[in-house]
Amino acid sequence: MQNHGILGIGERALLAAAAFGFVASAIAAEHTWRDFDGVSNSSFIESNGDRAIQLSIEIAAPPTDVFAAFASSEAYSSWAVPVARVEFHVGGFIESSYDPRARIGDPHNIRNEILAYVPERLLVIRNVQAPPEFTNAELFQRTVTVLEFAPAGQSHTRVTLTNPGYGSGEAFERIYRSLEWGDAYTLAELRTRFDKGPVDWAAREAVRRAAEAARTVESRP
């Protein structure tokens, strides 16, 4: 089974998943957060011995615009996932799917509850529903994800993602490594949104289908 990071890159194995990030654990095992240029890692051990993922990246847009990328269904689906509904208030939910055929309300969707926010500065969420193939979802749901948006020079933003609450044991270790990669990927995709514009999900799905077809042909005897 696979744990997923918040974004997908076209391959079906990567399209299933928040903390914000759910990426295939098989992919995460082969790669690290260092795969993404511009991502800094300041992860740390909490006073109680738990671990916290902490990654950051600089975005070429002001905090107002970067925060807004999370605050509405249209904005969130322009870079994070093809299917999304954002109810932006405390107690509201960010529901999403990497499957372009999914519908809001599907039981396999990702649902993150909004615990707190400060406009243009802070967003705190907790996952309450993960895809069924996400291993040990109940452990991940003990953690929270904190996004901080800080001005970084003229018209730039430093986004810091902190995901504390990872306990000890092999299961937590697997989730930690998967989400470390997935969260780095998410930050890189957010930066791409402002560098290159919205994602063309139809084109991305076409590329995925073509690759899938090619693999099918290659596997035939």
Residue 131: the pLDDT is: 87
Residue 149: the pLDDT is: 98
Contacts of 174 (CB under 8 A, 6+ apart): 3, 25, 135, 136
CATH assignment, 12-198: 3.30.530.20
Other Cβ atoms less than 10 A from the Cβ of 152: the count is 17
Judge whether 67 and 149 are in contact, CB under 8 Å.
Answer: yes
Other Cβ atoms less than 10 A from the Cβ of 98: the count is 27
The token duo for 173 is 């270790």
Nearest to 44 by CA among 164, 177, 182: 164
Residue 141: the pLDDT is: 95
Judge whether 12 and 118 are in contact, CB under 8 Å.
Answer: no
Domain edges within the chain: 12-198
Residue 123: the pLDDT is: 98
pLDDT in tens, the chain (221 residues): 334 443 332 233 333 334 455 544 444 456 889 999 999 999 999 999 999 999 999 999 999 999 999 999 999 999 999 999 999 999 999 999 988 999 999 999 999 999 999 999 999 999 999 988 888 899 999 999 999 999 998 899 999 999 999 999 999 999 999 899 999 999 999 999 999 999 999 888 888 778 777 777 776 66
Cα 104 from Cα 110, distance rounded (Å): 10
Residue 31: the pLDDT is: 80
